[in-house]
Amino acid sequence: MSAEFCVPPARPRLFYVIGPSGAGKDSLLAYARPRVAGRPLAFAHRYITRPASAGGENHVALSEAEFAARALAGCFALTWNSHGLLYGIGCEVEDWLQHGLSVVVNGSREHLPQAASRFPAMVPILVSVHQDELRRRLEARGRETAEGIAERLRRASAFPVHHPALVQLDNSGPLEQAGEQLVRLLRGEI
């Protein structure tokens, strides 16, 4: 192991990536991950009451009973309920931060205040996309009915996001465009 892997960053930060479903958060995180490899940075997985075979992000699939048992045992730093599913971020992220790693989390716009309360020095990153592009992406992935897509489009504009450290990334264009912005942000270049 080289010495550069042992040196923690000056101040580890939690990067809280949020945005409407279909904005491309998972794609951006997948784009950035190999481009920041070797840096003192960890990408947290989410614990979700959704089957592992459902596609999308690499998450830990839990039944509702498993999720409830872990929540009761204090295994989550953050939890929320969205679209009929339970989501959790494991308390391991707190250990990673204490050991000098910055942490990237795929979060929730609606639960930003909860996250900001738990991690006051975090950097929220809002991924946005033009409404017509969002509709196209939601239709292309084929996971929702027409009514479900309409509801997701409504929710996309229903949660205005405010935070003093908010960074906004427009992911309406090619993935590389917003992806490179995210990489530079995670590297501390912007």
User: Is residue 26 annotated as involved in ligand binding?
Assistant: yes
User: Is residue 19 annotated as involved in ligand binding?
Assistant: yes
User: Is residue 9 annotated as involved in ligand binding?
Assistant: no
* C-alpha dist (Å) from residue 50 to 61, 91, 157: 6, 20, 25
* Cα-trace Rg, the chain: 17
User: Is residue 90 annotated as involved in ligand binding?
Assistant: no
User: Is residue 56 annotated as involved in ligand binding?
Assistant: no
What element of type H or E holds 136?
A: helix 131-141
Say what the alpha-carbon torsion angle 50, 109, 42, 183 is, to the nearest 10 degrees.
120
Long-range contacts of the stretch 168-171 (C-beta < 8 A, 24+): 168/125, 168/126, 168/128, 169/28, 169/125, 169/126, 169/127, 169/128, 170/128, 170/129, 171/19, 171/23, 171/24, 171/27, 171/28, 171/127, 171/128, 171/129
What element of type H or E holds 70?
A: helix 64-72
User: Is residue 21 annotated as involved in ligand binding?
Assistant: yes
User: Is residue 20 annotated as involved in ligand binding?
Assistant: yes
User: Is residue 38 annotated as involved in ligand binding?
Assistant: no
Binding residues are: 19-26
Binding residues for ATP are: 19-26
